[in-house]
Chains A and B, each alone.
Chain A
Amino acid sequence: MSVVRFAGIILLCFALLAACTGCWDQTELNQSSLVTGMALEPGNHSKYKVTFEVVNALETDPTKGGKGGTPTAIYSKEGNSIAEATQRINESLERMILISHIRVIIIDERLAREGIDQFMDVLQRNRYVREDVLVLVGKGSPASDFLRTVYARGQYAGYKIQMQVETYRKVYGGIPRSHLYDVAQVLLTEGRVLMLGAISISGNVEKSESIDSIKTIYPAAVVKMAGAAVFRGDKLIGYLSNEHTRMVMLASDYVYNTLFALPGSVNGSKSPGAVAVQFYHMHSHMHVRMDGKTPKIRLNVEGDGKITSLDQNIKLTTIKGYDKIEEMTREYVNKELQKTISYVQQNFGVDVFGFGQHYYRYHFRKFKPIAREWDSLFSKAEVEIDSNFTLRRPDLKTQKLEKDGIGP
């Protein structure tokens, strides 16, 4: 290749540069804003009201400090579809929005009761919305209020809620898995209904909007985990408490780490937890078979754990002490699981556990004819629970500190 030709090509490249810089899909970071949270509500004038939490990046940078403003700003727009409202957000916002970093999508319960299917498509179709974004139901307050709670870490609310949900699920298991792909999975699968995480607000939202609200040690409003929202088809039918949710998750093998406070036998329900045991490596297996028209379900739960507190003195120097606590745990978990299952059967009559899904996967031909009536069959199902817990260690002390007592 001659020098002239080479130089010519280089020149052409530069010409290309002049023609093409700022190509159609280029977005400069300082001319766009990140959206970290999205709340969907029924609108006052139109079908939907979409609220975006838009990051004010300068305020989130700890090194630059910002000017003491809030880390995020909330913009709402009404529209007849979510896509329209999103596109029209610039009526009130000066920058282009980047929606690829949404952490949570909060659905208002009023909207959820009407059915979520009508607007899930826009979220699933858009290539910028991640599949692992959390989809939550806002219980008791308008969805946009959840984005209006400033919190002390100086980060955006969407991030706080996401972290909180993931951490809570990891250490306690009281909220279901509710990512966007979980929604798609459940909507497409047989023998299981959708369960989304529910969050609620305690405190005064109006006060919490201001950055001053985090200058006190007691935040004006706090977003709390509120268990699970149970759907029939795509419509919200009710909520499960955190405790019930945990048991549902345990039955479906989604709990990794949790803690049971086993009640003592002395004072009834006010009795102090006699023993607290923490379990990790928890597993559950289900076996479903049909006995005529009644599903017979066997549930095996097992886990390894340690003793975290001991209110009564149970001797741990011999194996008998452990056996006793393991027995107590077994009884407690069996009772609670049974309670949750019958609660769901009576109040909702939908299979949130995925027993039907299990039957569908392992006995497809037998499930096929009963697929449509599975939920009603489920509410009459007999569940037999067989749990097996192993205590691996008593932590630091083998025994509760107590004088042995001298003399007869």
Chain B
Amino acid sequence: MNTDNMSFAGEEFYRLESVKKQFSSVFGNTADLAVVSVDVGHYKGLLCYLTTMTNTDFIIEHVLKELTLSEHKEPVSMDETFHLLETVHYAALKHETLVDLDKVMDKIVLGNAAIFIDGFPKVLVLEVRTLNSRSIDEPTTQNVVRGPKEGFTESADTNMSLIRRRFNNVKLRFEKFELGYMTHTAVYMTYLDGEVEDHILKQVREKLNGSQIDSLFDSARIEEMLHSKGKGIQLFPTVYSGERPDAICSCLIDKRIAIIVDGSPFVLVVPALFTDFFKSPEDEYQWVVIGTFSRVLRYFAFILSLIVPALYIAVTSYHQELVPTILLTSIAAQREGIPFPASIEILLMEITFEILREAGTRMPRLVGPTISIVGALVLGEAAVQAGVVSNINVIVVSLTAISGFVAPIYTFGSKVRFFRFGMIILASIIGLYGLVLGCAFLMVQITRIESFGVPYLSLFSRWDKRRVT
């Protein structure tokens, strides 16, 4: 490959000057490349690494100190020096011996240091990757009152360690993949060997290996890819994502596969069923009755957030006979003098709420109080007093809003919010009939979904012998 290096008995000896030249031609003038001339025992050597993937203390402490072989006073041969480094001095570090310079460079990009010895054909590659990462914090999207407070971080190593320390089991596997032909992001498929169905493992492997993406910065990107394709649009998420190691571990116990993406604190789990999106790990840490109660409450809230505004519109503008008289007079009294029809009124407030939510999530933390003050004005008493919307409307929209956030998994809640608009439009066109049609459509869609061969509604559906898992 390299004409500058002397060939001897089929192997290439590295000449330090040419190695340096090679590096500068490949890496260019990148500022974080360190190519340092060092003494390796009694020979001249070269230490190459990326300063951004390690820190100087680590290099001084663990690499440079050992490099001089200070305890060996009398000179040893080149072979022996290399052997000593490999087996004695760097035995504790993860290391390997390479010959091919291209591979060495790839390794350096991933956070390794390469040690060349002048006139020696082998290169010692040491893993010196020490990255600063966020410390383990409480998860921000899945909170519990009772239960472990640790959450995943952006570092896949930390995340794997969080799982491993809960699973002292030899069967736990972390299978490594590299995704993204530009970024080479590490992706780990985690499962309990022997527990998981082979065909599911095979499918996940195929999907990960067959990916054509250029970059991968968050696990949401492959969530799309993991959806089973070919059956229309996926209206409901079929991939569970969690920020809590305990939740992910309990999924592993349930014979699922977790997928850890380096750089994302959200770990994915497949296959995921409809019921999973209503589970919170806390359910299992409480008295079973309380846990079941809150789970049932979540299903109820899901239905509420889906149909309440639509039901309100259908009932007040098409089916007044369904409302108790006293309630209807009360609603009618509030609707007096409101300039808009009920459907426009609801849509207006729902969109206001969505804007408020979007602003609340994206705004800089410093302007937070501003949003809550202004938000309370447009979505509250002030709007009612201005005669733009009615009280009952505010109640309906607020009830829907809080019910929408009860779902423990955010992605699920956001999909439901989207369907709600569809329901509102259907109900304002053809009343209850439209609402029922919409629900039927969702029901049909939801029963068609399969997640890696497992029916999405498994726990509710009829027991099917052909699908025994």
Contacts and interface: CB of A to CB of B under 8 A. Distances in A.
Given A20-B430, A26-B431, A28-B341, A61 B328 contact: no
Interface stretch (B117-125, B136-144, B155-163, B330-338): B330-338
Nearest to A100: B321
Contacts of A270: none
Nearest to B338: A30
Contact of B321 (A20, A55, A59, A130): A130
Contact of A30 (B318, B328, B335, B430): B335
A60 B341 contact: no
B321 A26 contact: no
A100 B315 CA distance: 13
Nearest to B316: A29
Contact of A29 (B232, B342, B425, B428): B342
Contacts of A20: 429-430
A130 B328 CA distance: 15
Nearest to B319: A100
A103 B325 contact: yes
B346 to A, nearest CB: 13
B343 interface: yes
Most chain B CB neighbours (cut-off 10 Å) among A36, A63, A100: A100
Given A17-B425, A98-B320, A30 B336 contact: yes
A218 interface: no
Interface string B432-461: 000000000000000000000000000000
B320 A21 contact: no
B415 to A, nearest CB: 15
Contacts of A30: 332, 335-338
A25 interface: yes
B423 to A, nearest CB: 12
Chain B binding surface, main DSSP class = helix
Given A100-B321, A101-B321, A29 B429 contact: no
Given A1-B233, A60-B329, A29 B335 contact: yes
Interface in A8-29: 13, 16-17, 20-23, 25-29
Contacts of B425: 13, 17
A57 B232 CA distance: 48
Contact of B334 (A21, A59, A64): A64
Contacts of B391: 63
B425 to A, nearest CB: 6
Interface in B288-340: 316-318, 320-321, 325-326, 328-338
A52 to B, nearest CB: 15
A59 B332 CA distance: 11
A61 B330 contact: yes
B309 to A, nearest CB: 15
A61 B334 contact: yes
Contacts of A25: 318, 431
A28 B333 contact: no
A124 to B, nearest CB: 16
A101 B422 CA distance: 30
Contacts of A6: 233
A25 B430 CA distance: 9
Contacts of A103: 325
Nearest to B323: A101
A27 B337 contact: no
Contacts of B332: 29-30, 33-34, 55, 57
A171 interface: no
Given A1-B233, A27-B318, A64 B428 contact: no
A128 B319 CA distance: 10
A215 to B, nearest CB: 22
Nearest to B330: A61
Contact of B320 (A1, A16, A29, A58): A29
B380 to A, nearest CB: 15
Contact of B325 (A1, A17, A58, A101): A101
Contacts of B321: 98, 100-101, 128, 130
B429 A23 contact: yes
A159 interface: yes
Contact of B333 (A22, A36, A58): A58
B325 A34 contact: yes
A63 B321 CA distance: 24
A128 B318 CA distance: 12
A25 B429 CA distance: 10
Contact of B429 (A16, A28, A55, A98): A16
A141 B338 CA distance: 40
A21 B329 contact: no
Contacts of A23: 429-431
* Residue from A6, A17, A101 with most neighbouring chain B CB atoms (10 Å): A101
A60 B316 CA distance: 18
Interface in A93-120: 98, 100-101, 103
Interface string A44-86: 0000000000010111110110000000000000000000000
Contact of A61 (B316, B333, B342, B431): B333
A110 B9 CA distance: 128
A17 B347 CA distance: 13
A328 B425 CA distance: 69
Given A13-B425, A17-B429, A26 B334 contact: no
Nearest to B336: A58
A60 B318 contact: no
Interface string A29-41: 1101110100000
Contacts of B336: 30, 57-58
Contacts of B318: 25-27
Contacts of B330: 57, 60-61
- Tell which of A30, A59, A64, A98 has the most Cβ of chain B within 10 Å: A30
A21 B428 contact: yes
A33 B233 CA distance: 44
Given A61-B329, A61-B330, A27 B429 contact: no
Nearest to A28: B341
Contacts of B338: 30
25 contacts: A1-B232, A1-B233, A6-B233, A17-B429, A20-B430, A21-B343, A21-B429, A23-B429, A26-B431, A28-B335, A29-B317, A29-B335, A30-B332, A30-B337, A32-B320, A33-B332, A34-B320, A34-B328, A55-B329, A58-B333, A59-B333, A64-B333, A101-B325, A130-B321, A159-B326
Given A21-B341, A25-B431, A64-B333, 13 more contacts: A6-B233, A16-B429, A21-B429, A27-B317, A28-B317, A29-B317, A34-B332, A60-B330, A61-B334, A98-B321, A101-B328, A159-B325, A159-B326
Interface of B: 232-233, 316-318, 320-321, 325-326, 328-338, 341-343, 391, 422, 425, 428-431
**Shortest Cβ-Cβ A-B pairs, 3 listed:** A100-B321, A61-B333, A57-B332
